Amino acid sequence: MSTNNQPKTHRGSCHCGVIKYEVVVDASSATRCNCRICQKVNGLGAIVKPEAFTLLEGADRRTTYPNAIGARYFCSACGVHLYGTGNLPELGGEFVGVNVQTLDDLDPSEVAVMYWDGRHDNWHAGPRPQPWPIFSAA
């Protein structure tokens, strides 16, 4: 795992390369969420302020999926989930959640993963080091 823990500039893209972005982020740690959409797209997220994210190419090729806190963006050509936007006080207000697995220069196996319990809207509890039970009674 990376021990640098410093934000650096990364380039990211979808599978087909139509959408490209740049983000300044410490990608040595990321989060996984168990809400319905996160579980389906299997994203690995890193949260940054909007000013740390720049869409370089492909704005016209995005497909948007709105949700209760913002929107998620996918490539309309290859379907890859790239990032999402939102506004949650628990996350410091407006944010961009980048799918770390779309960073072109990062090996996800080098990333420490924390877990959000989004299925139960447990955002106030923050991320935790162990995953949630896959089948819970709730």
- In three-state secondary structure terms, 33 is strand
How many domains does the chain divide into? 1
Whether 76 is covered by a domain: the verdict is yes
Is residue 36 within 8 A of residue 119, CB to CB? The reply is yes
* Domain that residue 29 falls in: 8-125
Residue (of 64, 74, 67, 29) closest to 48 by Cα position:
29
Name the pLDDT band for 2 (thresholds 50, 70, 90). Answer: very low
Instruction: Classify residue 5 as left (phi > 0), alpha (psi -120 to 50) or beta.
Output: left
Q: Which residue has the higher pLDDT, 12 or 35?
A: 12
Residue (of 14, 19, 9, 86) closest to 50 by Cα position:
86
- In three-state secondary structure terms, 116 is strand
Whether 36 is covered by a domain: the verdict is yes
Q: Per residue in 19-77, pLDDT tens?
A: 999 999 988 888 888 888 888 888 889 999 999 999 999 999 999 988 888 999 999 99
Can you give the pLDDT at residue 124?
64
Whether 14 is covered by a domain: the verdict is yes
Whether 1 is covered by a domain: the verdict is no
Whether 133 is covered by a domain: the verdict is no
What average pLDDT does the segment 81-85 reach? Answer: 95
Give the DSSP letter of residue 27: T
Name the pLDDT band for 89 (thresholds 50, 70, 90). Answer: confident
Q: Per residue in 94-123, pLDDT tens?
A: 999 999 999 999 887 788 888 878 777 666
Whether 23 is covered by a domain: the verdict is yes
Q: Which residue has the higher pLDDT, 41 or 15?
A: 15
